[in-house]
Amino acid sequence: MCFIDVLFVAFVLTTSSERATVGLDFNFTCNSTDNTIVSIIRNSTYECIISNDDTCTLHFHNPDYNYTCYNNSIILTIPGTYDIDILHKSFWKCGSLFGGSMSNTVLLNVFVPITKINLTAIPYDKNPVEVLSGSSQHFSCTTDAGRPPSKIQWYMSSANITNAATAQPDTCHPGCNEKVISSSVLQYIGDINDNGKTIYCTAENVEEQSIRSLDRRIDILYPPVIIDIPDYNITEGSILHINPTIDANPQPISVWWTRENDTSFKYSGMNLTINNIQRESSDYYKCNAMNTITTPNHPTQNKTTEELFKVNVLYPPSVYMEPSYSPFIVQEDQQNIRLSCVVATANPKDAIMYQWTYPAGTVRDGDLTITTVSKSHYGLYSCNASNSVGTSTTAKKQVDVHYGPVISRLQDHNIEAGKTLTVTPSVDANPPSTTIWWTRQNNISFIYYGLNLTIINIHQRDSDNYTCYVMNTVTPSGLSAQNKTSKTVLNINVQKILNEETVNGAAIGVGTGFAIITLTLGVTSLFVFLYRKRRMTKRRENSNSKVYESGLDKPRQMSETDKHLYNELQDQKSDAKQQHKSSERISNTYEEFGEVKSNTNDNIYENMKISTNDIQIHHKDTNLYVNMELKPSSKS
């Protein structure tokens, strides 16, 4: 810095700048209005003597400087190559060589710019500088000697971080002549976001002459950082592939995967892959990563990081039907039956849609209700359920409707005597009938088992009201078995038809000569037969234990009247042909009007053909009911 004495003089000494700077030219200018010989003096040493006129004659000078004259001004230039530092704090003035007035005195201050700045890491200086994340690292920035002191700035990849630094006291060694060494210390806390960045410092003690240190690369050492792994919703059967982003310095030496609820599960590798994933794989999974960190001022450490995420396997519903009976048996008129389509498993479980296929019923979501069971409810019921993933397989259940027998196609019968009666009802029952039997209204001992009621060579005495009974056993699911019996009554009316050909044949056989006698005997026989027929009918109506009988192993016992009539007829047969006709007539008459014997306690009812294959015998206690053709007994 220059100090100028403020005096009214004829000479004025000025400088090119407030201060001189090493390496830059510096000028002293002595201005005078007198044409005289001027001297420029440093302290007490004459640096030059020069004529202040148009000749600008240099009488004496320091050869280290340069001199010029211009309009009564003398300019002394100290070149930048000169070590101007030795002139620091020197006093300069100019004036007339021969005495008289002198200029103002100028104090010369010389700035010495710094030329070096050194950045070091403490305590271990290497590049790059390894810093454990979260730990502190010191850096020092030091300049060489300069005047004035330097201002030090800190930067990390162009970002000013001087606020984190502390300026240190300037250092001036003995004989430094006010040239000082400046320094600053930065305390840095390792941050993984700074990994790979550079730290440097700058220093400046002369305007626009800043210098920069060498860079130090920051190598932040930190445990693995697993970038957030999202939760996964994945459809069953798909491929789960997870490729995580793991940031670590140094790089991980091991990556493996575990499951929260399956300690046996361990999958090693950077990527997790599960092919054809199933619902059992739904769980919380953990990605584990480990690296090994070694720093100069810390022990070697294994650092492990984990990241938890959820795998949710989505799948369609699976359904079953309740009740669990298969088939599900209900009975006609049963009340309030419900079938339920039950979702056993589904993911997601909300927003389930149901679809039914059914013969009859009322559906509401997963339930099908039958208010009152009828036969129309028989059939196959099926349902499925859907969610956002898909549709379940179909659950099926057969519903079987049990009902008691329904007898149809039975109507009253009018039939001629001597014919075969066959009555076959139509029976509808579920389950099929187990027992079918027939009874008679006026014969409590009559019972006949079988679907078809058959009476061969039916007689007029078989006329009656017959009842058909049909029984089955219904077994509704979850209920006790029940016997169901139905019955239907029909009337069988057997009509008697008189055989005129037989009577005429007998009359012709007697002969023309005995016409009157034959006529008389015929009339008499007719009255006798009608009388006996009336007796037989009355006896049959009064009997409670007989159906139809004709003993096969007993000769028929003829009454006296029958014998008489038979003998009378036999005597009148005159030739073989006449005898044959007479025998045929008597046989037919017997079949139509023959007496029916009845035993009270052990009746034998028979009316069937003699053929062995056609005999049908039904036992009930001690009674035997048989239907067979009636043959005439041999005459004794």
Is pLDDT above 50 for 552? no
Extract the tokens encoding 265.
């599960």
Do 233 and 291 share a domain, yes or no? yes
Sequence-distant (6+) residues with CB within 8 A of 564 are: none
Judge contact between 381 and 358, C-beta under 8 A: yes
Q: Whole-angstrom Cα distance, residue 413 to residue 398?
A: 42
Above 80 in pLDDT, residue 522? no
Q: What does each C-alpha distance from 404 to 204, 484, 486 come to in angstroms?
A: 116, 5, 7
Query: Is 578's pLDDT higher than 80?
Result: no
pLDDT-derived band at 269 (thresholds 50, 70, 90) equals very high
Using only C-alpha atoms, the chain has a radius of gyration, in whole angstroms, of 71
What average pLDDT score do residues 340-352 get? 95
Q: To which residue do tokens 């029976």 refer?
A: 427
Tokens of 248: 């670590």
Q: How far is CA 258 from the centre of its chain?
A: 23
Please list the residues that pair with 514 across neighbouring strands: none
Within this chain, do residues 80 and 142 fall inside the same structural domain, yes or no? Answer: no
Give the confidence band of 51 by pLDDT, cuts at 50, 70, 90: confident
Q: Hey, what are 450's tokens?
A: 């079988």
> Which two three-digit tokens encode residue 612?
């062995």
* Structure confidence at residue 224 (pLDDT): 94
Would you say residue 631 lies in a domain? no
| Residue 488 domain-assigned (yes or no) | yes
Residue 527 has phi, psi (to 5 degrees) of -60, -40
Enclosing domain of residue 575: 500-626
Can you tell me the distance from the alpha carbon of 51 to that of 584, in angstroms, rounded to the nearest whole number? 202
Q: Are residues 22 and 96 in the same domain?
A: yes
Question: Looking at residue 624, what is its pLDDT?
Answer: 32
pLDDT above 50 (res 74)? yes
Q: What is the pTM of this model?
A: 0.55
- Residue 380 sits in the same domain as residue 423: no
- pLDDT digit string, tens, across residues 119-163: 999 988 989 999 999 999 999 999 999 999 999 999 999 899 999
Handedness of CA 586, 592, 595, 596 (dihedral sign): positive
Q: What is the pLDDT of residue 36?
A: 82
Within this chain, do residues 519 and 611 fall inside the same structural domain, yes or no?
yes
Q: Which of 88-97, 191-200, 250-259, 526-535 has the lowest mean pLDDT?
A: 526-535
- The per-residue pLDDT for 521 is 57
309 and 400 housed in the same domain? yes
- CATH number, domain containing residue 197: 2.60.40.10
Into how many domains does the chain fold? 5
Within a domain: 369: yes
Residue 101 has pLDDT above 80, yes or no: yes
Question: Is residue 259 pLDDT above 60, yes or no?
Answer: yes
Alpha carbon distance 223, 522 (integer Å): 139
> What is the Cα–Cα distance from 373 to 265, expressed in whole angstroms?
54
Q: How many CB atoms lie within 10 A of CB 297?
A: 10
Answer yes or no: are the C-beta atoms of 562 and 590 closer than 8 Å: no
Q: Residue 378 carries which DSSP code?
A: -
Query: How many Cα atoms sit within 13 Å of 82 on the Cβ side?
Result: 17
The pLDDT tens digits for 223-238 are: 999 999 999 999 999 9
pLDDT score of 531? 53
Q: Average pLDDT, stretch 314-325? A: 96
